[in-house]
């Protein structure tokens, strides 16, 4: 309930700031010493939010489907691509974190490169991945454009999982580790019974970040590679009509924002049963 109230409060603040600035802001924007510091407040750059909502229920084209259906279909396509990339990124991050926790030499040698990987500009990376993967195939099945987008989503998703889970796996106290050793527990049993339950409070914030990063990666990947069917491509398509129908652009952006919230909500739902399991594990250990 608190999270729902916080989300509604945040939405109300956003609406108030948007409409408030539109009411008092200058149509040509605000500059300071010749440098633009605030955006234009005209209808072309910042349409009223109620105009955007109304545009959702009007046809995309004359006699066509309403825009909300087009946006929902595009979001579902991107959601599927994001889910594949998110799952792959979580798996890769999990394996890397486990290896870095198990072998200190792997952590010292690999962690700097894990961090360095996130400094590569995503816009520059997407065409490279598309070019590298263009000649790949899985037997009779050629590489598809959506696989490139999922790869980019996984690239962004693995980092927070690897770093956050590693911090969690290293969080148990020395006394807890020594207790497991006194029971002659090996690395795997200690990992499952002690380290992994202790890492859950670190893992779920990392998963939420990974989910948001996967959505960003999927949208940017669709835009950079020209993959059709997703919300990223829809944003580019609607942007071409920004001068004649500015509210239409924001409908696609709204869909991308809702998609990110859906992924974050899914991770939060996963958190509830697993955190209850962690509390049961703590009781059994005690």
Taking CA atoms, 144 is separated from 126, 132, 137, 151, 153, in Å, by 14, 12, 9, 11, 15
The full DSSP string for 53-75 is HHHHTSBSSTTS-BHHHHHHHHH
Residue 82's pLDDT is what? 93
Q: What is the pLDDT of residue 260?
A: 87
Q: What is the pLDDT of residue 117?
A: 86
pLDDT at 284: 46
Which residues, 6+ apart, have CB-to-CB distance to 142 below 8 Å?
A: 136
pLDDT for the residue 279: 53
Average pLDDT of each block of 10 consecutive residues along the chain (286 residues)? 76 88 82 76 84 88 84 93 94 94 90 87 76 70 82 92 93 85 84 87 90 91 84 88 85 90 83 61 45
pLDDT computed for residue 210 by the predictor: 93
Residue 285 has, within 13 A of its CA and on its CB side, a CA count of: 19
Cβ pair 148, 225 in contact under 8 A: yes
**Strand ranges (DSSP E) for the chain?**
30-32, 35-38, 137-138, 141-142
Q: What token pair was written down for 250? A: 């924001």
Predicted local confidence at residue 280, as pLDDT: 52
Residue identified by tokens 């825009």 is 67
pLDDT at position 278 is: 53
Helix spans in 59-121 (H): 67-102, 104-117
Domains of the chain: 74-285 (1.10.3720.10)
Q: Which residues pair with 31 in a beta bridge?
A: 36
Which among 91, 57, 82, 116 is positioned nearest to 219, based on CA atoms?
82
> What is the reported pLDDT for 164?
93
């Amino acid at each position: 309930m608190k999270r729902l109230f916080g989300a509604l409060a945040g939405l109300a603040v956003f609406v108030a700031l948007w409409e408030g600035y539109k009411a008092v802001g200058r149509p040509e924007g605000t500059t300071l010493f010749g440098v633009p510091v605030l955006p234009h407040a005209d209808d072309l750059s910042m349409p009223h939010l109620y105009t955007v909502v109304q545009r959702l229920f009007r046809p995309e084209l004359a006699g066509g489907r309403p825009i909300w259906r087009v946006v929902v279909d595009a979001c579902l396509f991107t959601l599927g691509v994001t889910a594949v990339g998110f799952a792959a990124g979580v798996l890769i991050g999990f394996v890397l974190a486990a290896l870095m926790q198990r072998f200190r030499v792997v952590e010292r040698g690999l962690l700097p490169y894990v961090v360095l990987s996130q400094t590569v500009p995503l816009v520059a990376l997407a065409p490279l991945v598309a070019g590298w993967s263009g000649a790949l195939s899985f037997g009779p099945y050629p590489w598809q454009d959506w696989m490139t987008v999922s790869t980019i989503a996984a690239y962004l998703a693995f980092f927070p999982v690897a770093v956050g889970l590693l911090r969690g796996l290293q969080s148990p106290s020395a006394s807890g580790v020594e207790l497991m050793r006194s029971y002659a527990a090996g690395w795997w049993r200690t990992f499952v019974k002690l380290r992994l339950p202790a890492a859950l409070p670190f893992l779920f914030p990392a998963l939420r970040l990974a989910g948001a990063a996967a959505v960003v990666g999927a949208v940017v990947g669709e835009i950079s590679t020209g993959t059709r069917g997703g919300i990223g491509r829809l944003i580019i398509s609607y942007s071409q009509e920004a001068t004649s129908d500015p509210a239409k652009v924001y409908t696609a952006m709204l869909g991308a924002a809702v998609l990110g919230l859906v992924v974050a909500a899914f991770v939060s739902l996963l958190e509830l049963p697993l955190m209850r399991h962690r509390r049961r594990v703590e009781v059994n250990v005690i």
